Each structure stands twice: as structure tokens, then as C-alpha cells.
Amino acid sequence: MEDRNIIELFTERSERAIVELSEKYGNVCMKVAYNVLGNKEDSEECVNDAYLGVWNAIPPQKPNPLLTFVLRIVKNLSLKRLKYNTAKKRGADIPVCFDELSEVLTDMNLENSPEARLDIEMTAKVIDEFLETLSYTNRYLFVRRYWYMDSYESLSGETGLKEAAIRKRVSRMWTDLKLRLKSLEEGLSYA
Amino acid sequence: MHSLTESLFRAIDGISDRHIEECAVFDKSKIGKKENLSFVSAKPKRKKHRIKKTILLAAIIPVIASMTLFVGSGGKNTEIEEIPINIREGIFTLSYVEVEKGTLLHRMKIVMVPSLEINGEAMLSAPEKFSDEAESLVALHKENGFEELVLPSDFSSEKWAVSEKNFFISDDNRHWNSNVVLESEKGSVRLNVTRKFFLEGSRIIMNYNKPKRAESMVLNGLDVVIVEQAYGSISVEYFTRKTHGNGTTEDYGYSFVFNGYTFEEVTEIVRTLP
């Protein structure tokens, strides 16, 4: 079913909207939630909460694209749940990609600088522009790794590339991105 | 989570919807041509492709006067040598310099030597006791007109054990392959029998890698045996042609890989076949 038809169902307050949404995007939602939480039960709960969030948001909103709208809700809920789990020491681990981001910042001599801060909006813009310069595969790898938080193993399975090759590609992308971030005075400033 | 790391994470989280949507599913059709090559191999193309071209060319241009076989098409390495084989009165005569015509004038038969033992069982004397694979192997050999597998007589003194065996027939039944590895204290022999479909009028192409040595022999007119040494093992490739009742012909290739034997030993084994 087309996204606009699903949105129409939400607008009509038809419960079929949830069924159609789940059928179309349920898997990718679960994947995102699971990538963050690493726990099936929590992930299912977050996805269901996200459906409820979509139900409450539409109407009045008419999101386009619908997929990213739902995914962002799923991801935010999952991250909140992760924080909750971590704070209560309930066994949830921080996604591995966070460590990689921390390493990037260390490489940039920022991680240990308490005064350093990152303008999130500007940095997002730089990353956006950077993604435009990449080949489709590299863009896919970067976005899947750091937005969807896919594991390297999963990426390898999907793309057919070897894990080592993916890591190398990602590492090269970061080398380029770090230069862009460093050169961005507006986006990266020291108080 | 460190606040700075979180900031970077949030920044990535804030990338535009189009990137997130685009990457929801991996779309192979979006991979560029240049990029696609990296999925195959980072290594430069090997000369294997040249072989394919040659085969294609040979398939298009019918060469009545010459008939060749395709040998060692694995594209294993660099140097490729073409060995033309001319047909004269239905008999292959190798014009390859190392050919020793008439060295072996006996038709090579595929025989399971009765004294050859597998797990203590003589192979041909009691084929029903063998595995299905071995039975199929024997049956196929017979089906294709080969009653016996000839191995040198001194092989019979060795005790052999099967270390590996498999048998494969493709779904479309266009080719079959059997693989039995026999091991003894002296060494091992891999019997790899493959039915190959050679093109009429195709040319023989042989990988010739140094320090590989190769020796070709004519067996009873239509059969060709090539002993070659490459990659630490010696292989004996045997080719023959079968003429069907309706006059059509098919070529078959058989290879035996000898491990633990020297090139001279294997050559001698082949020469002294009964």
C-alpha cells in the first residue's frame, strides 16, 4: 500500500492503518529498535509504542516520507529505553557504534577536551553534504552503520562485501569527514 | 555516553530524510558500474577472460580441419599456451613439441583394479559393498564405455583408503563430476572424472605455468593423455571422444591428481600402463 493511503487510513482513524504500517515498515522498525536495544522484547515494545506515537501524530501531521517519520520515532523511543535500561543497569549495552564515534572524536583531539562542543545542526549539515559526495554503496554503509546502527556482519550480509572491506571503507569515509568537520569553524567551536 | 559523542551521534541522527529513506533497503541497481567491480574482486582481471573469448570465437568459426580439446581452463595463472591438434582421418595427432607419438598405443580403459582396496574392500570385486557414490562412479564409467580403471600394477600392493568422496550430477544433467580420493602411505590419488562438453571446432588451450611441466601422449588414436605438474601436484588428464549411434560425438575428460608422487613417477606410471 502506498504511504499516502496509509496516512489516509490514519486520518480516518481506521485501525487498519496500524496493520498496514506494520506490514510495510514493521521489519525495518524492528531492525532499528533491535540495533539500539539488542533485545527482542524491548524492541517490540518500542515499535508498538512508535505505532501509537504515529497514531497520535496523524492527524494533524501528514509526514512525507512516512518511513523516516516512523523510524525516527522508533529510534528515539529505543534510545530512551536504552538510557533507562543503562541507568538502571538492566544489562543493556551502549551500541558499538557509539564507541566508534568516541574514537573519531579522540582522533580529532576533542574527546578529552571538556571545553569542546559540537554544533549539532551544523555538523548534521556537514555530514549531509558529505553523504552527497559518496557513492551509493558508501553512503549506504555509512548511514546504515551510524543511523540504523547495523552491525558490520549485517552490512556484509546485505551488500556482499567482506566485513574487513566495509571497515576499511568506513574508516576512509571518516578520514574525509574528519577533515570536513575540522575545517568547519562555525560547526565546531571551542568555548 | 559522553556529551560530545552524544552530540556527534545526534548530528548523524539529524541527517536528512532522503538519506535515511534511500538506505532503508540496499538497492543493487543503484551501484555504479565502476563500483560494482569491487564486488567481484579488487584484483585485476586475469587472463581467464581471454580464454572465454577464444572459446566464443572458436564456437562461431567452424574449423573443420582442426579439432582441439580444452584443457586446464581454470585460468589459474599467467602464461597461456595454445596447442593445436589436427584431425587426420579421425585420429588426433598432437603437434605439440613434447608429444611422444606412439608411446602408448593402448586404449586407456577406466578400470577399478580388483586388488585396489577401499576400507579393506576390493572395489570392483564387490561394488555392491561400496558407497552409493562409488557405485554410481563405476556405473557411469561403464555406461560411458569404460569397463575398467587402469592403475599401475604396483598400486595393487598398496593399501588404499578413501579419504574423501563425492558425486555430483547437475540439475539439468548436462554434466557430472565424481571425486574420490584414495590414500595410501605412499601418497594419494584423486580420481576426478568430469564429463565435459567440448565445442566442435574449438581450439585446445592449455595453461602452461612454470615450473609446471607437461607431457602429452596419444593413446590409441583418439585418446589423449596429458601429464602436468603444477601447484605441487601432478595431474593426468585424459580425453576421449565417444561417437553415438546417430553419429554425433561427445568428448569426455578425466583427470587424476597424484599427490606425493614425482612428475617422473607419474609419467612412468602412465607410460607403463598395460
H, E, C per residue of A118-141: ECHHHHHHHHHHHHHHCCHHHHHH
- Specify the range with the lowest mean pLDDT, choosing from A24-28, A146-150, B172-176: B172-176
- B8·A137 Cβ contact <8 A: no
The ipTM, to two decimals, is 0.86
Q: How many CB pairs under 8 A join A and B?
A: 102
Do A121 and A184 contact (CB within 8 A), yes or no?
no
Looking at mean pLDDT, say which of A6-10, B140-144, B171-175, B265-269 comes out highest: A6-10
DSSP A141-167: HHHHHHTS---HHHHHHHH---HHHHH
Query: How many other C-beta atoms are found inside a 10 Å radius of the C-beta of residue B201?
Result: 16
Residues of A in contact with B30 (CB under 8 A): 136
- Specify the range with the lowest mean pLDDT, choosing from A101-105, A120-124, B146-150, B202-206: B202-206
- Specify the range with the lowest mean pLDDT, choosing from A87-96, A109-118, B12-21, B162-171: B162-171
**B19 closest CB neighbour out of A135, A143, A159:** A143
DSSP summary character for residue B244: -
**B14 closest CB neighbour out of A67, A104, A124:** A124
Residues of B in contact with A94 (CB under 8 A): 1
Per residue in B107-140, pLDDT tens?
222 222 222 333 333 333 333 333 343 444 445 4
Task: Measure in Å the smallest separation between the Cα of A15 and chain B Cα atoms.
Answer: 25
DSSP summary character for residue B122: E
Residue B48 in this model has a pLDDT that exceeds 50: no
Query: Which three cell numbers mark B146?
Result: 569404460
pLDDT at A94: 57
For chain A, the maximum distance between any two Cα atoms, rounded to a whole number of angstroms, is: 53
pLDDT at B124: 31
Residues of A in contact with B14 (CB under 8 A): 120-121, 124
Do A186 and A124 contact (CB within 8 A), yes or no?
no
Question: Which residue type, as a one-letter code, is found at position A162?
Answer: K
Q: Which helix (H) or strand (E) holds A16?
A: helix A16-37
Reported confidence tier of residue B27, pLDDT bands at 50, 70, 90: confident
pLDDT, average across residues B210-225: 44
pLDDT at B70: 32
Give SS3 for B210. Answer: coil
Percent of chain A scored above 70 by pLDDT? 85
Does residue A60 have a cis peptide bond before it, meaning omega lies within 30 degrees of 0? Answer: yes
Reported confidence tier of residue B185, pLDDT bands at 50, 70, 90: low
Show which residues on chain A lie within 8 Å of chain B, measured between beta carbons.
Answer: 28, 65, 67-68, 71-72, 75, 94, 98, 101-102, 104-105, 110-111, 116-118, 120-121, 123-124, 127-128, 131, 135-137, 139-140, 143-144, 146-148, 158-161, 165
* Greater model confidence, B12 or B223: B12
Reported confidence tier of residue B233, pLDDT bands at 50, 70, 90: low
Burial of A141 (0-12, 13-18, 19+ CB in 10 A): buried
pLDDT, average across residues B146-174: 42
* Angle value at C-alpha B4, between B3 and B6, nearest 5 degrees: 60
Per residue in A13-23, pLDDT tens?
888 888 888 88
Q: Which helix (H) or strand (E) holds B51?
A: helix B48-60
Per residue in B86-105, pLDDT tens?
222 222 222 121 222 222 22
| C-alpha–C-alpha distance, residues A83 and B269, integer Å | 74
pLDDT at B270: 61
pLDDT at A73: 92
Q: Which of B4, B208, B1, B19 is nearest to B96 (CA)?
A: B208
Burial of A2 (0-12, 13-18, 19+ CB in 10 A): exposed
Question: Which residue type, as a one-letter code, is found at position B263?
Answer: F
Residue B57 in this model has a pLDDT that exceeds 50: no
- A143·B15 Cβ contact <8 A: yes
Average pLDDT, chain A: 81
- Specify the range with the lowest mean pLDDT, choosing from A144-158, B90-104, B166-180: B90-104
> Cell 536495544 maps to which residue?
A37
pLDDT at A29: 92
- Specify the range with the lowest mean pLDDT, choosing from A148-152, A177-181, B146-150, B250-254: B146-150
Distances (CA, A) of B121 to B124, B125, B159, B188, B234: 9, 8, 10, 17, 27
pLDDT at B266: 67
Task: Measure in Å the smallest separation between the Cα of B191 and chain A Cα atoms.
Answer: 34
Reported confidence tier of residue A71, pLDDT bands at 50, 70, 90: very high
pTM of the model: 0.47
| C-alpha–C-alpha distance, residues A158 and B113, integer Å | 51
Distances (CA, A) of A23 to A4, A42, A51, B74: 15, 19, 12, 47
